[in-house]
Structure 1
């Protein structure tokens, strides 16, 4: 019997992975994570030369009868300079065992990361939030601008990056694409102090956000710290915030934003407000007051990649996109 697999390249993903649809899929997926309707394996990483890391992230969507795995090399500094970050997400039908598709991993990762932050923002940020701070003005930062603007009526954008050219480029792009008033910030503090919503998408190893800078009622999406020895927000930020996570098991192992305060004795796992999926499902309160500071710690989990890749595959099937490979 012939076996047919649909191959979806980065250009296919860029055209098929709609941000608003992906936000809704991440909302559903995070609910399923909390409800135990998915299976996630912890990220396994194998060190490679020049600081590269080979990573394997497996998961299963029970209701959709899909299983898959993101296989990717997270680039070290030399590979980053070469623009190298490559990976794939194979999707299997768990009933028949068929390999349905192989989807470009890099394109999926960026959109689903921003979409996950937006799903959390929709649940936790004040409804009247109008000012957004982006710390880290690269591709993921721009995707966060797009995603947050989809769930809140943002009027003003503060941007900070260690590279001034990246800050300027992001501001110019946001003005043109979304009509936002933009502020090119010289420091992270300047970006944060007046922001209703803050997204940290840097590659920092030490905190770029300090708790004393946060205004009452702020919401933070902490995205960039995906290893236990690095962090983007300081201990005071964690202590001032109600902290929600995508998946507690991974967040407490893999993000220094939480691991380091726990090691200091300044925070405990029991201090977590809960998994964001419980809030989205209406089973756990989110924001309790206008002045409460909320924080979503996004470590990034395998099932988010699989769910976003499945969305790409479904739309590709409808539009007959991609290349068909016959085994």
Structure 2
């Protein structure tokens, strides 16, 4: 493909399909060639009484691609009828520096984020998992369901819970899944629990997890956010997308580490360890596993490069 193009959200979502994207992420983590510095994280008042977070996420693969995602997380946007996460991704040729394409950043994010969790679930969830619970009914929820169904075709039941029960019911009806009226009951029934909230107080209690559950924490991306309590973190075998990001930015790990509840050494492996076989992942049917992701620019670059390769000329 020659020339520079902008790829809108509809085209990007259509091209970034599972399982191709999941495999592209696996290849990127296994190759270990993409460099992804910690993202720039800048609080910025929105002028209306709230604070937005502006994220700058660069990455590069020598001899291949360079890219950067520019993202604004605006908590007030739902009240404006807008997505809370808005951004742009720009992909460059790493050798010449020539821009190759720009793409809607939200489309990249809502695809690559569940793809990373689904990739982890290949190694960490039970192969016979039948019940998935999604905690949170925001924009990512439908993509999480699709990604998990790709790697675990054994799923026969999908539940969704949200603080706003009407929102959960509406999305459940749209997707043909079940709205869960009670979070504890739903967690106790689930083989996989995927949380996609920005909660600052734990929603997932370790006491509610049955043996063999896989917990996937997606939503929290600052040290102040917690989706799971200390009991969940201490009961589970811990895994992360990247140690550097998750141990510093994820409240679900950074907070209990700071208080001495766990230590960095308790993290068994990251995605690179899993896809290369340096760690086998789940070791028994009864093991409780927990995967914490905060997102990494490696995933964005891998997704944008995959889009560039599969997009028609």
* Structures share fold, TM-score greater than 0.5: yes
Q: Distance in 2 between matches of 1:71 and 1:159?
A: 30
Q: Distance in 2 between matches of 1:56 and 1:188?
A: 35
- 2:193 aligned residue: 198
Q: Which moved more, 1:233-242 or 1:46-55?
A: 46-55
Equivalent position SS for 2:6:
strand
Q: Pick the aligned partner of 1:39 from 35, 38, 41.
A: 35
Moved over 6 A (4+): none
- 1:28 aligned residue: 27
Higher relative contact order (CA 8 A, sep 6+): 1
- 1:131 aligned residue: 131
What displacement does 1:164 show?
1.2
Gaps of 5+ in 2: none
Q: Which moved more, 1:305-314 or 1:118-127?
A: 305-314
Task: Please list, as runs of the form range in 1=range in 2, the aligned pairs for 1:165-176 lying within 5 A after superposition.
Answer: 165-175=166-176
- 1:11 aligned residue: 10
Task: Please list, as runs of the form range in 1=range in 2, the aligned pairs for 1:233-312 lying within 5 A after superposition.
Answer: 233-312=228-307
Cα 1:187–1:264 shift into 2, 3 Å: farther
CA contact (8 A) 1:30 1:246 kept: no
What displacement does 1:117 show?
0.7
- 2:103 aligned residue: 103
Q: Distance in 1 between matches of 2:61 and 2:121?
A: 24
What displacement does 1:170 show?
2.4
TM-score (norm 2): 0.94
What displacement does 1:27 show?
1.7
- 2:67 aligned residue: 68
Aligned pairs, how many? 305
Equivalent position SS for 1:238:
helix
Gaps of 5+ in 1: 176-181, 321-327
TM-score (norm 1): 0.90
CA contact (8 A) 1:126 1:217 kept: yes
CA contact (8 A) 1:61 1:307 kept: no
Cα 1:183–1:11 shift into 2, 3 Å: closer
What displacement does 1:311 show?
1.4
Q: Which moved more, 1:206-215 or 1:19-28?
A: 19-28
What displacement does 1:135 show?
0.2
